[in-house]
Structures are given as C-alpha cells and as structure tokens.
C-alpha cells in the first residue's frame, strides 16, 4: 500500500511534470512568437528609418551642392567685377560741366534705346577692317585684360587708390 501510494504519487508527479513541461513549452513558444512579431516590427521600422535617412542625406547633399554652386557663382561674379574694374576703372558718373559728360551721355544712350544702340554700334563698326588689310588691325572679339606693370618705372604711372584724391 505504501508502495502503491508512492507509485501513485510518482505517476501523479510525472503527469504534473508532463503537464508543466507542456505548459512551459507553450509559454516559450508564445514568447518566441511575440519576439518574432516584435522583430518584424523592428525590421520594418529600421527599413523606414533607413529610407528617411537616405532621403535626408540626399536633401543635405542637394543643399550642399546648391551652396557650392552659389559660392562658385559669387566667386565668378567677384572675378568679373575685378576684371571690369581693371578694364574700366572705378565707375564714375560725370556731372554736367565735366568735359566727358557729353561722351558719357552719348555712349550710355545705347543702353536706353535701340536706335541709339545702332548709332553707337555703327560708329564703332566703321573702324573694323578686313583681316587681309595691310597694316590694319580689328577690334578684338574678347576682353583684353591689362597685364600687371612689367617694371617699376611703368608701375609709377599707375593711378592707384592711394594716389587719387
């Protein structure tokens, strides 16, 4: 009877262990499913964040490229301004009574009317020559940028900001 009771309690314990084991495996499998679902959610979130990051990097690159183009354009404009000042000097507006006033008015009139532009252009075109004309030259078709002085003697004749009143 004791043996039977022990045998019965062993069987009961084994049944409980089996049931507990099955319950444990059920819990483990449900936790595994939960972790798999969370992992899939995290992977989807990660891919979304990667797309957003790539988009942000592309926008940043485009902004940097635009800033680089802007800086290049500004540098080109500064260079153009420097060359313009080398060619023409600092812009001066002649006042009435100044000997150059009438000439300035004549040449600036080309900026205000097509008829005046044609008139000024015809005046310049009179000086054009054919390439085979002996001893003649024509007006260059590009800007001629002045060179720096070749000697100290030539440099002494330059009008600089420090020597102008």
Q: Show the domain range for 55.
A: 23-91
- Burial profile 71-87: b = 16 or more Cβ within 10 angstroms, e = fewer: eeeeeeeeeeeeeeeee
Q: Report residue 122's pLDDT band, with 50, 70 and 90 as the boundaries.
A: confident
Q: What is the mean pLDDT of the chain?
A: 81
Nearest to 105 by CA among 92, 114, 94, 97: 94
Q: How many domains does the chain have?
A: 2
Q: Is residue 36 part of a domain?
A: yes
Mean per-residue pLDDT, 9-24: 67
Q: How far is CA 139 from CA 99, 125, 143, in A?
A: 26, 9, 10
Q: Report residue 119's pLDDT band, with 50, 70 and 90 as the boundaries.
A: confident
68 and 98 co-located in one domain: no
pLDDT score of 145: 76
Euclidean distance between CA atoms 39 and 22, whole angstroms: 25
Q: Report residue 116's pLDDT band, with 50, 70 and 90 as the boundaries.
A: confident
37 and 56 co-located in one domain: yes
Which one has a higher pLDDT value, 1 or 40? Answer: 40
pLDDT score of 148: 80
pLDDT at 163 over 50: no
Q: Is residue 84 part of a domain?
A: yes
CB count, 10 Å around CB of 110?
A: 16
Mean per-residue pLDDT, 57-81: 95
62 and 111 co-located in one domain: no
34 and 70 co-located in one domain: yes
């Amino acid at each position: 009877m004791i043996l039977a009771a022990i045998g019965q309690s062993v069987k009961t314990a084994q049944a409980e262990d089996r049931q507990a084991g099955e319950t444990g495996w059920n819990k483990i499998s449900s936790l595994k499913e939960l972790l798999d679902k969370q992992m899939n959610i995290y992977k989807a979130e990660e891919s979304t964040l990667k797309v957003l990051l790539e988009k942000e990097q592309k926008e940043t690159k485009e902004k940097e490229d635009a800033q680089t183009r802007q800086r290049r354009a500004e540098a080109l404009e500064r260079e153009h301004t420097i060359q313009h000042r080398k060619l023409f000097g600092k812009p001066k507006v002649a006042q009435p009574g100044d000997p150059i006033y009438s000439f300035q008015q004549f040449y600036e009139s080309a900026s205000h009317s097509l008829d005046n532009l044609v008139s000024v252009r015809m005046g310049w075109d009179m000086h054009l020559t054919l390439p085979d004309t002996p001893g003649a030259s024509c007006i260059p078709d590009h800007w001629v940028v002045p060179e720096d002085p070749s000697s100290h003697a030539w440099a002494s004749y330059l009008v600089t900001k420090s020597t102008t009143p």
